[in-house]
Amino acid sequence: MTAEMVAFARQLVAIPTVNPPGDNYQACAELLGNQLAKFDYEVAHVNVEGFADYPRVNVIGELRNSPAHPRLHFNGHFDVVPAGDGWTVDPFGGIVRDGKLFGRGSTDQKAGIAASLFAVEAIRRAGVRVAGAVEQSGTVDEESGGFAGMAYLAEQGYVSRDRTDFVIITEPLNVDRVCLGHRGVYWFEVATLGRVAHGSMPFLGISAIGKMADFISALERELQPVLSTRATSMPVEPPAARRPSININSISGGQPASGFQTPCVADRCEAIFDRRFLIEEPIQEVRGEIRAILDSLAARDPDFRYEMKDLMTVHPVLTDAKSRLVTTMSGAVRDVLGADPPLIASPGTYDQKHVMRLGHVDQCIAYGPGILHLAHQPDEYCRIDHMVDAAKAMALAAMRLLGTR
Ligand SMILES: [Zn+2]
């Protein structure tokens, strides 16, 4: 059965579901849907309207002839980030070498999709019938926020508190760890406004770029020391990510650097900031302290004028470590690998936010094969023994969560 699982994972990797822009989603949804149908699932394809050139197609299957409750849902995203440079193998060749499956999306996270499909199939082939419902979904766009993927399934009620008891997202957080949730994200844009003047007489203008530099140094001086005193009780890995952070994602001001230049004082500068916040930090405070820094600059300097705009907010989520899903998954991993898995949280977000915030399902974790730091790298690979171990742990957890009949 390992050979079958690997063959299927190779087929998944060989479809370049690159996002952006969202290539070949239809073909991948079809492959996944056909495999689910072969494994006796009732399959639905869920199309999201408004994407004419690059259709957004999600696939969801429910194992036939099962009781409606309790219900366990396995989810994996099948979009992958662009291959990028630096590969020594074909990123979409589905190459297996030295016990590893190579390719863009092997670790993140097509191996996870194959593992959960074959975990449940192993139970079925053993003649064991679970006493609950099993669902599996393959969704799109996780790498770009998941809005046409898991968010859509949650909004449409496919994954919701009323029908779904447990959700396991098969992201690569390492085969020997169970991930309970993730930190929050607040993206915002600040524009500083200046006054244009001839570049030979800058004293006649106000440089928006200079004002942005004032703001950035105020962040360093006033915000960073405060952030470095805060720590979360969430078991975020790596531990350095247990503190809040802020990153300047982009900055542009004055004339485009790639274009022909004329001497001008820049009258506008824009920068986009990525603030990662802790479950202990209320979002109003996170926003408020940025606003306070801008306002204090404006109070001290009559030439400091700015605009601020929220771009995206993702709230932190955390499943209770004592919940049935976490204790059962941990027990299953221990029984397969011989050691208790550390319970961790992720510094970055993934689709768990949509399951919990939109679907209101309170027991959701990430568990899957694949090594986190290989995700999005050249020569990304997933070890086949990790796929097998993850599938075994998923099979045990499914039987224990749902019971057998
Ligand atoms: Zn992923």
Q: Residue 175 C-alpha to ligand 1 middle, in angstroms? A: 14
Q: Ligand 1 centre from 143 Cα, in Å?
A: 7
Q: Tell me the pTM.
A: 0.92
pLDDT tens track for 108-122: 999 999 999 999 999
Report CA-CA distances (Å) from 204 to 196, 230, 256, 269, 303. 8, 43, 22, 18, 12
Dihedral angle sign, alpha carbons of residues 199, 202, 205, 206:
positive
pLDDT tens track for 359-381: 999 999 999 999 988 999 999 99
Task: Quote the ligand 1 centre to 52 CA distance (angstroms).
Answer: 25
CA of 186 to the centre of ligand 1 (A): 20
pLDDT digits (tens, 9 = 90+) for 239-250: 999 999 999 999
Mean pLDDT of the chain: 97
The Cβ of residue 252 has, within 10 Å, a number of other Cβ atoms equal to 15
Task: Count other Cβ atoms within 10 Å, centred on residue 52.
Answer: 6
| Element of type H or E holding 188 | strand 184-193
Whole-number pLDDT of residue 166: 98
Is residue 252 very low, low, confident or very high in pLDDT (cuts 50, 70, 90)? very high
| Segment 385-398 mean pLDDT | 98
Q: Give distance in angstroms: CA of 255 to centre of ligand 1.
A: 37
pLDDT at 33: 98
Summarised one tens digit per residue, pLDDT across range 74-83 is 999 999 999 9
Strands (E), 297-376: 305-314, 317-318, 343-346, 364-366
CA of 346 to the centre of ligand 1 (A): 12
- pLDDT tier for residue 228 given thresholds of 50, 70 and 90: very high
* One-letter identity of residue 376: H
State in Å: Cα 368 to ligand 1 middle.
10
**Rounded distance from Cα 345 to ligand 1 centre (Å):** 14
